[in-house]
Structure formats: C-alpha cells, structure tokens
Amino acid sequence: MTWFTVDTRYADDADRLAAARPAHRDYLRPMVESGRVLAAGPWADGTGGFVVLRAADRAELDELLAADPYTLQDVAESRVIREWNIVLGTPAALD
C-alpha cells in the first residue's frame, strides 16, 4: 500500500460545493474508520481541500477519486496528486 496526498481545487460554485459536501464526507468516512484515510479537510480559505490516503497503487487511487461525489458532481476542478513516503509519525509505523 502506498500513501498519496491529494490537493483538490474546488470549482468556483459555492452552492454546488455545499450540495456535494455531505455525500463527499459520507464517502470518505468508512475510509477514515478503516485507516485508509489519514486526514482530510478543506483549506481555511475555502478554495479546496486536502486528503492523505492509502491505495494499492495509482490506478486504485484514480478509481477511488473517480467515485468521489466531488468528482461526480463536478466540484473538483483540479487535483495535484503526489506519492508520499512517510518516514516519521504514526503512519510510518503502519508500513
């Protein structure tokens, strides 16, 4: 399993974002509970959000993001995705 960071920039549509947010959080919640998502949340300025999650590989990550309500409801305008090698902290002990 590989850790990834996903930095999402939201579309400039507050109503669409507000409508999709509950489903997005419901989608992530089981992944948080299982330890697949380490942390997730919006940037303080409301322009986007950030999530740290584990996936088998980039293909699986892409599948997870494709099923995210933010993708399905056109909230995610763009994403910067990076593979992250966590060497210190609690997640490092999971590897």
User: pLDDT tens digits, residue range 49-72?
Assistant: 999 999 999 999 999 999 999 999
Give the torsion sign (CA, 71, 21, 60, 63): negative
**Residues facing 79 on adjacent strands:** 8
Look up tokens 């992944």; give the residue: 31
**CA 90, CA 81: separation in Å to the nearest integer?**
21
CATH 3.40.140.10 fits 2-86, yes or no: no
Q: In the predicted model, is pLDDT for residue 88 greater than 90?
A: no
Question: Chain-wide mean pLDDT for the chain?
Answer: 94
**CA 86, CA 48: separation in Å to the nearest integer?**
23
Look up tokens 């949340």; give the residue: 41
| pLDDT tier, 95 (very low <50, low <70, confident <90, very high otherwise) | low
**pTM above 0.85?**
yes
| pLDDT tier, 91 (very low <50, low <70, confident <90, very high otherwise) | confident
